[in-house]
A and B are shown apart, each in its own frame.
Chain A
Amino acid sequence: MSDPAWIHASLTTARPQAVAALLRYFRDLDRAEEAFQEACLRALKSWPEKGPPRDTVAWLIFVGRNFGVDQVRRTAKQTELPDEDKLSDLDDREADMVERLDNSHYRDDVLRLLFICCHPDLPATQQIPLALRIVSGLSVKEIARAFLVSEAAMEQRITRAKRAVAQAGREFETPNAVDRAERLGIVAAMVYLVFNEGYSATGGEVHVRAPLCVEAIRLVRLLLRLFPAEPEIMGLLALMLLQHARASARLDKTGNIVLLDDQDRTLWDRRAIDEGLVLVDKALRHRRPGQYQMQAAIAAVHARSTSPDETNWAEIDRLYQILERVQPSPIVTLNRAVAVAKVAGPDAALQLVEPLASPLSGYFHFHGLRGGLLMQLGRDEEAREAFNQAIGLAHTPAEAAHIRLQLDKLGQGKPALDKSQKRA
């Protein structure tokens, strides 16, 4: 029980709830964080000797709150801190009291803490680091690495974000059902941003960014524990699990993207897929479709197919049509076009894609897909033009390399089918 790894895991797990509760007491991020740090230090001293308390979260809140209150008093009166043993020697009755006091609040506390991190005044580049620092407790160094910036720059970014949040002064009273639902939606979007920040990384960066995906999954698991009957939260967790399950098949040895069709499906993480599939089924029973559920349902169709040929593209087309209704967006339509190309052929897909030219003229995947469809139709010159536009918009070397492969195929003068030779 005195295994330091066990204590570390307990502290990491307890962090969001404990910091969130301390924030309710102190209404100040820095003070809440400092109180939690102190409680952790005392845990590291006390737990190996006395064993872990029955409720670690309650213990940390109790110790952190006492420390914070003492800090306030000490700055006022210069009084002594109570001695260590007195604080560490909480019996279960005291812990139980704190637990009863807080259990009904945890849900709103954690939501508030996350909500504060996605303040509308903050750009996403600040929201995500702030959440990772405050909620997840990642070090500034770890976050800086994930965002490929210097530690000093990241420190500054987080400090700025904290200042903006403090000045804004968030609501601290208990939210009503409408506020709660709205907060949950905003927070879910922020957690999905954290995930995407890790997921969309390519090439040599991927190993430093994967922890962001793991952290996002941990956060959405926490949300689901607090809101066990929210289909969109089930959908979001399912979506992340199903996408992350493919992580080890997404890049080849040289760091190039391997498209879904070409991935070695035996590398997919079956355990994550099983959990994701169950959650999709469970969410859809509610008959309240939302964007995460629909995206997860689409990912589930892929996850269920043991080979690309077995993929039920008609089902994917149908799910994208629902997604278009739930969340109309040219990008959703563009994605649907991929399914339409498989079900009804490149001509039908192109008809769906062409009207998107104006909203998506600056979007890499628009030109990439359009080029691919034109190539399938044998319209090589137009395809070449589209691919050239795509290359100009590529964000990563891997994206550009993929388009160059398509251009090479055009160079051979015969229409090739799509991306099938990617890994040859």
Chain B
Amino acid sequence: MQYAILCYDREEIVEGWTQAEDDAVIAKHRAVEHDLAKKGRLGPTLRLLPTHAAMTVRSGDQPLVLDGPFAETKEQLLGLWIIDADSHEEALETAKKLASHKKTGALEVRPLRYFAAQKQVA
């Protein structure tokens, strides 16, 4: 079985960390990741840019693009794609294509701050 571990925290606090505080937390994560990677049991790891950089594409025949992060608490996170896009616009276009196949739900388009795909993943 493979697992995704999703990280949640108070964004305004995390964004207020100094570089040194941020580095210290990341270093602790790295230590855990390192052990997993050695055993070949680490998949991609990634860090997202803050939610104010996000946009939301609501599903439908003509998907609707909205500012801000995804915020409907009655809908749950079901999956994700990592894509390469040359611009915000291109990423939104891809999301619109994906969102037009459904009547409900939404896709949040959030730029990545950091991405590492581990070669060792099974």
Please give the residue numbers on chain A whose beta carbons come within 8 Å of chain B beta carbons, in ascending order: 5, 9-10, 12-13, 218, 221-222, 224-225, 228-229, 234, 237, 271, 274-275, 278-279, 281-282, 285
Total A-B Cβ pairs within 8 A: 54
Range, interface on chain B: 20 to 34
Contact pattern, B 13-39, Cβ under 8 Å of A = 1, otherwise 0: 101110001000000000000000000
Q: B10 interface residue, CB < 8 Å from A? A: yes
**A to B CB contacts below 8 Å, 10 in the list:** A9-B16, A224-B52, A229-B67, A234-B52, A274-B111, A275-B53, A275-B113, A278-B53, A281-B87, A282-B67
Contacts of B67 in A (CB 8 A): 228-229, 282
The reply to whether A281 and B89 contact each other, CB–CB distance below 8 Å, is yes
Please give the residue numbers on chain B whose beta carbons come within 8 Å of chain A beta carbons, in ascending order: 10, 12-13, 15-17, 21, 49-50, 52-53, 55, 65-68, 87-89, 111, 113
Cα distance A271–B111 when bound, in Å?
11
The reply to whether A228 and B68 contact each other, CB–CB distance below 8 Å, is yes
**Which of B13, B52, B65, B66 gathers most chain A CB within 10 Å?**
B52
The reply to whether B49 and A278 contact each other, CB–CB distance below 8 Å, is yes
The reply to whether A225 and B12 contact each other, CB–CB distance below 8 Å, is yes
Distance to closest chain B CB from A260 (angstroms): 23
Q: A275-B50, A275-B111, A282-B67 are in contact. List 15 more A-B contacts (CB 8 A).
A: A9-B16, A9-B17, A13-B16, A224-B52, A225-B52, A229-B67, A237-B52, A274-B113, A275-B53, A278-B49, A279-B53, A281-B87, A281-B88, A281-B89, A282-B53
Q: Is the contact region of chain A dominated by helix, strand, or loop, or is it mixed?
A: helix
Distance to closest chain A CB from B115 (angstroms): 12
The reply to whether A221 and B111 contact each other, CB–CB distance below 8 Å, is no
Cα distance A130–B49 when bound, in Å?
31
Cα distance A274–B47 when bound, in Å?
13
Cα distance A36–B16 when bound, in Å?
20
The reply to whether A12 and B49 contact each other, CB–CB distance below 8 Å, is no
Enumerate the 4 nearest inter-chain pairs by beta-carbon distance, A residue then B residue, closest first. A281-B88, A228-B68, A229-B67, A278-B53
Q: Which of B15, B68, B89 contacts A229 (CB 8 A)?
A: B68
